[in-house]
Amino acid sequence: MPYKYETHMHTSQGSDCSSTPGAEMVRRLYDLGYSGCFITDHFFGGNTAVRGELASYDWEVRVRLFCQGYEDAREMGEKLGFKVFFGLEYARSATEFLTYGVTPEFLIDHPETADMPLDRYAALVHDNGGFVVHAHPFREADYIRTIRLFPHAVDGVEIYNCNNRDEYNSRAKWYAESYGIPVTGGSDSHHFWCHPCGGIITEERLESPSDYLRLMREGKLKIAERDHSKDLPEPQNPWAQTVRPSIDRLPKEVYGKFFGGEKR
């Protein structure tokens, strides 16, 4: 029995460019027949939703806010029997590493991740049992000034990104093959109504991120390509009621630790 997983997905609580909260994204994936997903919101060096006044709070508070999309998705996943794994998309100068196998506690314990060169960040992730995949390495956009490659720092290359042009994906495949780097794919989805149905297909269920890494290294992943035949109609003004991170949704003990008293 094949299993389908989304490896690159954003939520409105973690990523400023997403309009859909984690729970709603998971519900849509479940309806599309996926078995699980990785939440990979934009961390603080990228297009994070933890911005403005929220970015002025203590480091732990900022991390907890960042993780609200994942927590929302995980809670829905538990209700549905749908596996939800934590991840993030780490960026420096618009070069982005999808990160797996670490936890929110890893981020809390390492405030230096707020501003680390990508190679040092990858080494820190490896030291803590995680792994990194270079997301859409040949994407061209107005926010990307330089294409930078780190063939000896990454564990994999996203050679198929559903939001990429085909030529960008072809270059990523050439790059991975040139260096013998394991390959994978993802949707890079941001909105529930137009999920492009990408990701990976496996012959075994993923019980942990390490299963994903092992299958990627063994070349036992099938990459799912874009398919918009199941798109839903775009809602009118989908950004009007977008759910963003909020200190009011922090765990009680965290709220009390940093803000004192009872939650409002």
- Tens of pLDDT, residue by residue over 20-73, are 999 999 999 999 999 999 999 999 999 999 999 999 999 999 999 999 999 999
For residue 241, the model assigns a pLDDT of: 86
| Domain total in the chain | 1
- Tens of pLDDT, residue by residue over 74-124, are 999 999 999 999 999 999 999 999 999 999 999 999 999 999 999 999 999
Could you give the C-alpha distances from 215 to 62, 85, 112, 135, 237, in angstroms and in order?
Answer: 33, 16, 31, 18, 40
**Residue 159 placed within a domain:** yes
pTM: 0.96
**Residue 125 placed within a domain:** yes
What totals of helices (H) and strands (E) does the chain contain, helices first? Answer: 8, 9
For residue 233, the domain's CATH number is 3.20.20.140
Could you give the C-alpha distances from 2 to 39, 196, 213, 222, in angstroms and in order?
Answer: 21, 19, 17, 10
Mean pLDDT score of the chain: 96
For residue 264, the model assigns a pLDDT of: 59
For residue 203, the model assigns a pLDDT of: 98
**Residue 264 placed within a domain:** no
- Tens of pLDDT, residue by residue over 94-108, are 999 999 999 999 999
The parent domain of residue 196 ranges over: 3-259
**Residue 182 placed within a domain:** yes
Using only C-alpha atoms, the chain has a radius of gyration, in whole angstroms, of 18
- Tens of pLDDT, residue by residue over 141-169, are 999 989 999 999 999 999 999 999 999 99
Mean pLDDT calculated for residue range 229-242? 92
For residue 263, the model assigns a pLDDT of: 64
**Residue 189 placed within a domain:** yes
